[in-house]
Amino acid sequence: MHIRPAQPSDLESIAQLHTQSWRTAYRGMLSDAYLDGDLLADRRALWTGRFAQPADNQSIVVAEIEHTIVGLACSFGDHDARWGTLLENLHVAQGFKGSGIGAQLVSHVARWCVHTHRTDRLHLWVLAPNLAAQGFYQRMGASAVEESAWDAPDGNRIAELRFAWPSLASLLQQPQDAAIGPATPAPHTSTRSS
């Protein structure tokens, strides 16, 4: 498994991974009509914009195995004066959940925070009903620090929690690239991502 910066040529693979991730993780949270509709076009539009007009503080990386994208992370450095860098998207392909790819992507983002933005702060939003994601981030050292509500694209309003790390030291000690193969499917560990 190799983590590398995403390229515009990765857009379709990224949009498809994001779509499948939402359809799996958010079933029962977002409406079936929205999830079963033209979600791919919606996600494709999001990533087209991020590649066409990237924010100065944006980082998109992908995890690749044998030239196939199996994970992605999108972050915005120093997004919040109090909480630091925002991990906006974290998605891992279904057949690779539980294999350590998500943890390695989070660690990669932590290293980027420290080296690029000189910050030791990282946060993300997780939907309150997404207990699997909350458990994943807690095991990685984050904790819920704030509650809010997300105006979801299907018109629903869903409770969400901000998770943050008090320090990135433990994340910086994770191995970088590793030999990883398919794993037994595990619960989805997505952030509440736009």
DSSP the chain: -EEEE--GGGHHHHHHHHHHHHHHHTBTTB-HHHHHSSHHHHHHHHHHHHHHS--TTEEEEEEEETTEEEEEEEEEEEEETTTEEEEEEEEE-GGGTTSSHHHHHHHHHHHHHHHHH----EEEEEETT-HHHHHHHHHTT-EEEEEEEEE-TTS-EEEEEEEE-S-SHHHHTS-SS-----------------
> Does 189 score more than 80 pLDDT?
no
Whether the CB-CB separation of 141 and 165 falls below 8 Å is answered with yes
Whether the CB-CB separation of 83 and 121 falls below 8 Å is answered with yes
> How sure is the predictor about 185, in pLDDT bands with cuts at 50, 70 and 90?
very low
> Does 23 score more than 60 pLDDT?
yes
> Does 96 score more than 80 pLDDT?
yes
What pLDDT is stored for residue 186 in this prediction? 36
> Does 180 score more than 50 pLDDT?
no
Whether the CB-CB separation of 165 and 122 falls below 8 Å is answered with yes
What pLDDT is stored for residue 59 in this prediction? 96
What sign does the CA torsion over 26, 191, 65, 140 have?
negative
What pLDDT is stored for residue 119 in this prediction? 77
Single out the residue of 169, 174, 172, 165 nearest to residue 100, CA to CA: 174
Q: Mean pLDDT over residues 105-115, rounded?
A: 92
pLDDT above 90 covers what percent of the chain?
77
What pLDDT is stored for residue 97 in this prediction? 85
> How sure is the predictor about 190, in pLDDT bands with cuts at 50, 70 and 90?
low
Q: Are strands 58-65 and 157-164 parallel, antiparallel or unpaired?
A: unpaired
pTM: 0.87
Higher-scoring residue by pLDDT: 188, 84: 84
> Does 29 score more than 60 pLDDT?
yes
> Does 177 score more than 60 pLDDT?
no
> Does 178 score more than 70 pLDDT?
no
What sign does the CA torsion over 106, 111, 114, 116 have?
negative
